[in-house]
A and B are shown apart, each in its own frame.
Chain A
Amino acid sequence: EVQVVESGGGLVQPGGSLRLSCAASGFTLNNYWIHWVRQAPGKGLMWVSHIIGDGTKTSYADSVKGRFTISRDNAKNTLYLQMNSLRAEDTAVYYCVKGGAYSTSPFDSWGQGTQVTVSS
């Protein structure tokens, strides 16, 4: 069964850092595009970042560029999102999402999400 499980969320002060993890099972990360999508309280869905299957390219939303870094450990079949210089507006549930083999593939498997709260 394809599954992604996020962890690492929590309460952090503005300017602080967190690293989210996404453990994949039932498939191999490096065969698929993998995304982070977030949802602020009471709001809609916003794409944050992705890494392509072969790991050679990453992309970020403008609002997180330069502060967030997506990476992958193929041996652990785990994806990460390093979040630095966190702001109140980064408060959200963060979802790890499996895409497909192509950039145009839909987001077909979602984790349960991990809550990130940025507050003093």
Chain B
Amino acid sequence: DIQMTQSPSSLSASVGDRVTITCRASQSISSYLNWYQQKPGKAPKLLIYDGITLQSGVPSRFSGGGSGTDFTLTISSLQPEDFSTYYCQQSYGTPPTFGQGTQVEIK
């Protein structure tokens, strides 16, 4: 199975901060990397797919980068509604696997 490792596991940031979350795959996954946002008690929501493509309706302050084994999710200016847990997921191989999550908290 392809292992996905996110860093950091959690972070504290202020409204307006630029935030970057990293995801590393245990082998090359080309650009088949997706990012999800999950708020407490809610289902995850797709933010970015294929490494860099913003899902319809997702604010442009979210962006994705990377290919191969190293990927990033960047929030250019953190908003109050962005305080959530973020997961990366590879869709290159079966089983699809998720990172352990990054919890973004208010400083």
Asked if B36 and A107 sit within 8 Å, CB to CB, the answer is yes
Interface size class of A (residues with CB under 8 A): 10 to 19
**A105 nearest CB neighbor, chain B only:** B91
Contact (A44, B101) CB under 8 Å given A103-B91, A107-B36? yes
Chain A residues lying within 8 Å of B100, measured Cβ to Cβ, are 44
Asked if B55 and A104 sit within 8 Å, CB to CB, the answer is no
Interchain CA distance A110-B36 in the complex, whole Å: 11
A53 interfacial by beta-carbon distance below 8 Å? no
Chain A residues lying within 8 Å of B94, measured Cβ to Cβ, are 50, 59, 103
Chain B residues lying within 8 Å of A111, measured Cβ to Cβ, are 43
A11 interfacial by beta-carbon distance below 8 Å? no
B34 interfacial by beta-carbon distance below 8 Å? yes
Chain A residues lying within 8 Å of B91, measured Cβ to Cβ, are 103-107
Asked if B34 and A107 sit within 8 Å, CB to CB, the answer is yes
- Cβ 8 A contact of A106, one of B43, B46, B99, B101: B46
Interface size class of B (residues with CB under 8 A): 20 to 34
A88 interfacial by beta-carbon distance below 8 Å? no
Contact (A107, B32) CB under 8 Å given A45-B98, A46-B98, A61-B95? no
Contact (A47, B95) CB under 8 Å given A107-B89, A108-B55? yes
Asked if A107 and B87 sit within 8 Å, CB to CB, the answer is no
B49 interfacial by beta-carbon distance below 8 Å? yes
Interchain CA distance A110-B99 in the complex, whole Å: 18
Q: Which of A74-88 contact B (CB under 8 A)?
A: none
